[in-house]
Amino acid sequence: MRDVVCDTLNPEKLFILPISFALFVFLISILGGIPIIFYRLEIVTESIFLSLPLFLGLYRSKRIRPLRSVQNKSKWSVLRAPKKMLIAFFALAFLFIVLLLIGKTGAHVLTPWNVVHPFALWVVLILTIIVLWSIFSPMKRHGVLVLLIVYSFVLHAYIPITYDGGFGGDRWRHIASEKYLLTGEVYTPSLIGEKEIPLKTIAGVTVPEVFIAGNKSSYAPQWILTIFTHQMTGISLEGVDQWLVPLVWFWLIILCVYEISRFLFQDQRWRLFLTFIPITFFPYQVYGGITIPVGFGQLSFLFILWAWLRYVSIGDKKSKYFGLIAILLGYFHYILHFLLSIILAILALIQRSISKRKKSIDAIILIVSIVLLAALIPLLEQVFGLSWFTESLASPESIFQGLADAFGRITNLVGYTHYGSHIGQGNFLYEASRLPTSRVSFLRWPYWPLAISLIIYGTSAIGFWSVLRKKANEAWRCVSAFLVVLSLSYFVSWFVMDGYRTLARRLDLSIALFVSFLFVYGCYSIMGQMSKITVVNKVAPSKMLIVLMIAGVSFATTSTFASGPILDRVTKSEYLASQYIWEKIQNDTEYCVVANTWPLLGLEAASGRTIIGGGFPVYKEYAQPERVKIFETLSKYPTQELFLQALSATEAQRCVYMTEFRFINSRVLAETENLLGPPEKQIGEVFIWIYDRFTI
């Protein structure tokens, strides 16, 4: 694996081992996921597929190129970083972790900032200032990278440490699937092991559904890696899921982005600054703290981006072959990143081709290619029924309104609705258009998101314009073209189409990454122009500008960090209650559980996908109108008729009712006890009753 990494990606010598390890893990997850996509978790087939990476050890490069050394000298190393500052950094990092541990809770909270001490955000602000100060100091790059990695761990630890019992809802569906796979059963749709192969017709062509079941192929690598880690360490699936991505993300994101920066900047300080900046954007804060497939897929996409930017920059054919092979394997990884890899490869090949010819028609070729590639994701959503074009939304008036809405969302000039059922579709910088009520004084002004969004996106626009206007290198042109494709795809899907927007809603990580790159280039362009101004009071303008930039970016990072996540969760008591319910009714032939949506996710995990949605019918995008209506009515006016409706909808013989104090008042509790008797079980704030049609 070392020779493959050196020959195709050529990282710095110090990074070869961790990068090789990361690539090996990704390869294991992809190859190990293939058997469960088409068949099931079975030791013989898994052994065959997992032995394939061992053959990479036979690869020997005929020419391992010398790894490039990078000079630490830079005209932008204008600040001093005394040892006391570094001591303070590690002390504050430790203090932040302690504050998270103190705030750790298994109770119901919508945001970690409800329980974490407000001083923690002051700590984040100071830590950010120290890291940025070190970047623009003479400190050696490896020392700065160590600070960046520690800083990354500190910021991404706030979710797995604070949320005792886990964060979000998707986690429980994945744990449920992993438990189901461990039983050795076939996970439908499949190609082998089912009595009848499920088929699906797409665009008039009928194929086995497994070939187009994007959710299964997207999730399989994470499932198999979680299962392997669980089996090798003995740690519970819940425990592995809590820390799997966070423990890989915090260091790998730093190393990969730093290596990518080598093709974008020659100056060492700006490379380090670019390595830091993605953390300023909320998606890169939250997805690095949770284990879900889109975050896992984003890490693998960074390797593909690395390879193609290397090819665009120096024309290395082995990097191109690496990128092409990664695309083929990407079919068995996260489907969105498979599509993004195809788009990136096409743009890179076009950019490399036109950079050699430099003909007048090249600009037209690139523009046409961008438009066609931008249509790929919306068209696929249309074909697969994920979103659809409507005449009303495609009218000129609606498109103009969509542009206005998009501008309002990006700049936070116009508020937007935040739905608590998933990580909010913000403006790629913030989680929500308004910060949660903060106990920290410097974040209480409600217009900070507006001001900061305008500055950051305005600077990114300057960076984009600078790429077009100046003779930026080919890597920057490829980055800019790719961002245009992503932005157009996102706009069309969100503002010209209607539907679920399954692919487009997951573009936030990639869009945030490329916007952050252009933000850095915008800062670089502005600094380059402003530093030419005559020295004022014998203080170099570059030093004053850098101090100002550090202050602004530090505040922006703290502000975005405080903006979320804002999301419901399965509490520790709810999961314990779900485990109790599963023990009580696991021998039933049909299941009926009336409860709020979130604890039912815990029940799905506890039962290993045996009970999904409480046993009620599940429609598109997990909609369950019957269950929701019954639960909401029971929370106000409990009657026996409602339980009979639940039994009718599920065809079960008995029904479990699970609720909490936050859903009912004392009157409803008394009426429920009059109807069903005392609770069968109370776990924390959770009440459990069992309604049996033959005993009541």
Question: Following DSSP, what letter does each residue of 231-254 receive, concatenated?
Answer: HHH---HHHHHHHHHHHHHHHHHH
Give Rg (Cα) of the chain: 27
E strands along 525-653, which residues?
593-594
Sheet containing 681-683: which strands, arranged edge to edge?
Answer: 593-594, 654-660, 686-692, 681-683
pTM, two decimal places: 0.92
- For residue 175, being part of any structural domain is answered with no
Beta bridge partners of 387: 499
Tally the residues of the chain.
Answer: 696
**Mean pLDDT computed over 412-429:** 56
Residue in this structure with the two tokens 């308004």, named with its chain if needed:
434
Give Cβ neighbours of residue 503 (< 8 Å, ≥ 6 apart).
335, 336, 339, 377, 380, 381, 386, 493
Q: What is the pLDDT of residue 418?
A: 42
H-helix segments, 358-473: 362-374, 376-383, 391-394, 396-411, 448-469
- 277 vs 516: CA distance, rounded Å: 6
The H or E element spanning position 686 is strand 686-692
- 511 vs 240: CA distance, rounded Å: 29
C-alpha distance from residue 97 to each of 192, 208, 456 (Å): 48, 49, 29
- For residue 635, being part of any structural domain is answered with yes
C-alpha distance from residue 337 to each of 165, 274, 293 (Å): 29, 22, 11
pLDDT > 70? residue 624: yes
- 269 vs 291: CA distance, rounded Å: 32
Question: What range defines the domain where residue 602 resides?
Answer: 572-692
DSSP SS3 for 493: helix
**Mean pLDDT computed over 499-522:** 94
Beta bridge partners of 202: 205
Nearest to 152 by CA among 83, 93, 228: 93
C-alpha distance from residue 383 to each of 201, 339, 389, 391 (Å): 10, 15, 11, 17
pLDDT > 80? residue 2: no
User: pLDDT tens-digit profile of 341-398?
Assistant: 999 999 999 999 887 776 778 888 999 999 999 999 999 999 988 888 877 766 777 7
CB 416 within 8 A of CB 424: no
- 431 vs 284: CA distance, rounded Å: 11
**Residue 590 has which token pair?**
């049909």
Fill in the DSSP letter of residue 438. Answer: -
pLDDT, averaged across the chain: 89
> pLDDT category, 417, cuts 50, 70, 90?
very low
- For residue 617, being part of any structural domain is answered with yes
> pLDDT category, 695, cuts 50, 70, 90?
low
- For residue 645, being part of any structural domain is answered with yes
By CB neighbour count within 10 A (0-12 exposed, 13-18 middle, 19+ buried), where does 208 fall?
middle
User: pLDDT tens-digit profile of 201-220?
Assistant: 887 889 999 998 888 999 99
Q: What is the pLDDT of residue 480?
A: 97
CB 139 within 8 A of CB 272: no
Give Cβ neighbours of residue 671 (< 8 Å, ≥ 6 apart).
637, 638
**Mean pLDDT computed over 408-432:** 61
**Mean pLDDT computed over 241-261:** 96
Share above pLDDT 90 across residues of the chain, in percent, rounded to a whole number: 67
- For residue 631, being part of any structural domain is answered with yes
CB 89 within 8 A of CB 146: no
pLDDT > 60? residue 535: no
- For residue 383, being part of any structural domain is answered with no
| Long-range contacts of residues 22-26, Cβ cutoff 8 Å, at least 24 apart | 22/248, 22/252, 22/299, 22/303, 23/303, 24/53, 25/225, 25/248, 26/221, 26/299, 26/300, 26/303
Beta bridge partners of 208: 199
User: pLDDT tens-digit profile of 23-63?
Assistant: 999 999 999 999 999 998 887 677 777 777 666 665 666 55
C-alpha distance from residue 329 to each of 2, 33, 212, 325 (Å): 19, 11, 15, 6
User: pLDDT tens-digit profile of 277-316?
Assistant: 999 999 999 999 999 999 999 999 999 999 999 999 999 9
Give Cβ neighbours of residue 272 (< 8 Å, ≥ 6 apart).
135, 141, 144, 145, 148, 258, 261
Q: Which of 179-188, 409-418, 452-461, 523-532 has the lowest mean pLDDT?
A: 409-418
- The larger pLDDT score, comparing residue 125 to residue 202, is at 125
At CA 324, angle to CA 321 and CA 326, rounded to 5? 105
The H or E element spanning position 150 is helix 141-156
How many independent structural domains does the chain possess? Answer: 1
Tabulate helix, strand, coil % of the chain (nearest 5). 65, 5, 30
- For residue 156, being part of any structural domain is answered with no
- 687 vs 581: CA distance, rounded Å: 11
**Mean pLDDT computed over 550-574:** 92
Side chain identity, residue 262: R
- For residue 687, being part of any structural domain is answered with yes
